[in-house]
Structure 1
Amino acid sequence: MKYNLKSPAVILLADGTVFKGQSSVKFDSNRSGEICFNTGMTGYQEIFTDPSYFGQIMVTTNAHIGNYGVNVDESESDGVKISGLVCKNFSFAPSRVNSDSSLEEFLGEADLPVVFDVDTRALVSHIRTHGAMNAIISSDVENLEVLKAELANHPSMKGLELASSVSTKTGYTLGDKLSDFRVAVLDLGVKKNILRRLEARGAYIKVFPYNSTYEELIEWNPKGILLSNGPGDPEPLTSAINLAKKCISNAIPTFGICLGHQVIALSVGIPTLKMHNGHRGINHPVLNLVSGKSEVTSQNHGFTIDKKSTEFNDKVEISHMHLNDHSIAGIKVKGKPCFSVQYHPEAGPGPNDASYLFDEFFVMMSSEHVSV
């Protein structure tokens, strides 16, 4: 797929709103998904390859996308995971010396449709006001009624299990085989940078498929278990929720990130909610309620744990709070070596303010836990 020519394209939202743009060629097929936006000024390659975005059409608020190309070492998975890209200005010629290829070539190899020359400011404003919703992008600009019918058949993100679409099919290992820190990672859509953070701290890691049981992970004799990020609604992940319950009851050091955080919350009786438009960007402010320090964080989630239920749940304490909307950004399970955060301490892209959480996980694995 080449993007250096222009032909009309359209973005149709579930509420009937239409935004116009350009594409390079007529799409081989229309693409549907939940439309969302990311406010990051850099890191588009990491965003497009983040498994947590599976099933979503990405709108970038940064006006220029593609200007520094792509680098093979900066992907967060084995390939592009978004369903489509909508942007203002698409750059065809990268200017970075160490780029391996242009974004045009990278997305073209994945057959990913791109709609550019879009009024993304108006589109993002619409999503912020009316909420995230399904959308369809197409080069068939004359048949809106056909597109509406096709879009109506696309499932809602609420209730949608997507971890199975991005999780590894078979387990694999990486890191130092002689390490004292054996970490079992439940892959709900894990980003590579999470694994890099663990490996950099000397861990020996085994990544397990999303539906692996507690017994399968424990058979590998891990020092700790990490429940990863991933796409979709956490509620259908009954196997992962049951695994988290057993980790907590057996006092296994457990760390949850993003979707993994929501799974841990569900395992202790805290419900999750679909957000109005989610948190997606690399400059979200979070307050650590334990230390009193603030952090600038990378976030990507469309679901959250219920705040009132968390406040009244006697099994957990709130450890972190999002300063923009005061939603729950982190919890600790009382008397158990288990904690989780709604944001991405591994960054990729984003700041490194929260990387200390990996250090806390390793301290937790190295200590004999005492219930309180």
Structure 2
Amino acid sequence: MNRDHMKSHGNEGDSAPVYILAVETSCDETSAAVVRDGREILSNVVSSQVETHKRFGGVVPEVASRKHVESITWILEEALTQAGVQPQQLAAVAVTQGPGLVGSLLVGVVAAKAFACALDLPLIGVHHIAGHIYANELVHKLEYPFMALVVSGGHTELVHVESEGSFRIIGQTRDDAVGEAYDKVGRALKLPYPGGPHIDRLAHEATEAVTLPRAWLEPDSYDFSFSGLKSAVLAVLNQANMKGQPLAPEAVARGFQDSVIDVLVEKAIRAVRKFGAKQLLLAGGVAANKGLRTALETRCRHEGVPLLAPPLSLCTDNAAMIGAAAFLKYRRGQFAALDMKAEPQLKLEGWSV
């Protein structure tokens, strides 16, 4: 795809607006959005499959793929209609290339390719986590360098962003991501799927907390590990049941959430200090967790570090964030060929602009 499609993008006041149609189907949300100039959301349509997967206690990849196929066409149409933008006004089509479930990714990639090909528009493949990070640019002014704490169902990472679109992962989970740990503990507590919001609510209702370990790992490590904490929760529940003295679910939820938050907050603040970050960004589905947001706000205020977090609607998977990240590539004329593949293991650092 050549660069002739690019509209001039000099000073904001004298250039034509850049409308990007973005598609997100990495897991179990089908979403399409129209974003203007990488900053302004004109539409952001999301169809969630939570009710479908709830009875299975987790996302079933084959079912997710089929639901995306059923939804993608009307979602694209609705995004354009709500935005009041005609297809011929679009500057590019962006889509989540990875990481994610391969079947789900393929649906979005094929739809985006078809749209780009039919209208002779440039195609932009976007890294899902870059999208979560740059969701913040839809509501905040970013200052470099910044540190991003990415917390979602499949990812827990500390990402140092030295300049626009330049990513360096300095810490990541060695086993379960935060979201996975929440779902597994939620199942142990017999809570509905997804477990995160229910554990967060119970933790706030609790008057006491079960004492659980914190996994700090090596003294200088920014990595995370939540598998041992999950095992500790199961052990505590089993011991209590064997003694015939069941624990209050709220106390377990509070103990678990306190442990997770302590480690996330401490490591994030340590990373901000070490790398001289001007801001700490919160990104990903678990960024909607009230306990985590409150703890980070309190600590960042104490440390004098600005905390940026997107509104709840932009924390979970959505296409507007993909449009925001795609704009970084658009401005540099970094377009994908029409034989671009969905990459379930796509690396963030390799996607840097």
Same fold (TM over 0.5): no
TM-score of the two chains, using structure 1 as the length reference: 0.26
TM-score of the two chains, using structure 2 as the length reference: 0.27
**Which structure ranks higher in relative contact order (CA pairs < 8 Å, sequence separation ≥ 6)?**
2
